[in-house]
Copies of this chain bind each other. A is one copy, B any other.
């Protein structure tokens, strides 16, 4: 017996899940000073806590950082790290790099450091003996759950990765066996940008998805029907705003030939995402 398509997710519910993904942004520039209710923050943390984890290990902790002085110290770490990273960029991109806003540490409502306790499954490391990094990956899944739930709550999240981990660990008293996986700026926003900042500022552009699909082996040719289906979905992304059709009717599967159109309701034109 096969569960019904979506197992309780009608078209509208599926669209909501996709919309959270397509309109999620790595927020740096649009934080407001508005506080975040504990009610909302609790739901985001519960979402993170329901991430998959290898061997049901749940290796994560959540350090909530509100203190302004501490956050300024974290921002100093970022500024120092940015200066160190800058020379690593291709010469012709350094001016652009300097212009990019890459964090919202102080102006967001709060920061959260999501950590991974590498020893939490000591004794029975199910699924980690060959791939010990799986606990870090589980923690990243928690970050992504947090990020998507935040998008659905109208809360912006930005991941600051330009930071020296040992300095951050010292500042937050994080012990040796614990890895800070993500340092997040979290807050209400004035807007979610229609496109990723790095795309808007010309740092990069979205890669064509069909070219990222391989068949059976690395660089394996094949999957032509899948690739052309993907290409059709992508073409919706590039359509001008005015050509969007109305959202698909809930509970009805769109006809196969027009399936790409159902994505129009997700505002995909504005939905290319970077971090």
Taking beta carbons and an 8 Å cutoff, which residues of A are in contact with B? 1-9, 12-24, 26, 32, 34, 37-39, 41-43, 45-47, 49-58, 60-67, 70, 81, 84-85, 88-90, 93, 97, 100, 102, 115, 123-131, 133-134, 136-138, 140-141, 143-145, 147-149, 151-154, 159, 161-165, 172-175, 178, 181-182, 188-192, 196, 198-199, 203-207, 209, 212-220, 223, 225-226, 229-230, 232-234, 256, 259, 263, 271-275
A67 touches B152 (CB 8 A): no
Q: List 8 A-B contacts (CB under 8 A).
A: A3-B189, A8-B19, A21-B47, A51-B273, A55-B204, A58-B212, A85-B126, A100-B126
Contacting pair B216 A18 (CB below 8 A): no
Q: Is the CB of B214 within 8 A of A274?
A: no
- Residues of chain B within 8 A (CB-CB) of A151 are 7, 9, 17
Q: Which residues of B contact A63 (CB under 8 A)?
A: 214-218, 220
Q: Which of A13, A19, A52 has the most CB of B within 10 A?
A: A52
Q: Which 9 A-B pairs have the closest CB atoms?
A: A52-B275, A13-B16, A56-B204, A56-B274, A16-B16, A140-B140, A56-B198, A85-B129, A144-B144
Task: Say whether A16 contacts B21, CB under 8 Å.
Answer: no
Inter-chain contact A226/B145, CB cutoff 8 Å: no
Tell me the minimal C-beta distance from A147 to chain B in angstroms.
Answer: 7
A70 vs B218: C-alpha distance when bound (angstroms): 13
A26 and B13 in contact (CB under 8 A), knowing A46-B230, A60-B212, A64-B226?
Answer: no
Chain B residues with CB below 8 A from A219, complex form: 173
Q: Determine chain A's interface SS by DSSP, over half rule.
A: mixed
In the complex, the answer to whether B174 meets A218 with C-beta atoms within 8 Å is yes
> Quick one: which of A26, A70, A271, A273 has the most chain B CB within 10 A?
A273
Residues of B within 8 A of A182 (CB): 137
- State whether A50 touches B131 (Cβ < 8 A): no
Extra pairs beyond A54-B275, A130-B162 (18, CB < 8 Å)? A9-B19, A12-B13, A22-B50, A51-B144, A51-B273, A52-B273, A53-B275, A61-B218, A64-B215, A85-B126, A88-B129, A102-B127, A126-B203, A127-B161, A128-B161, A130-B164, A141-B144, A172-B216
A192 to chain B, nearest CB (A): 6
A97 contact set on B, CB distance < 8 A: 124, 126
Contact partner of A62 (CB less than 8 A), chosen from B16, B45, B67, B214, is B214
Asked if A133 meets B134 with Cβ closer than 8 Å, knowing A17-B148, A93-B124, A216-B70, the reply is: no
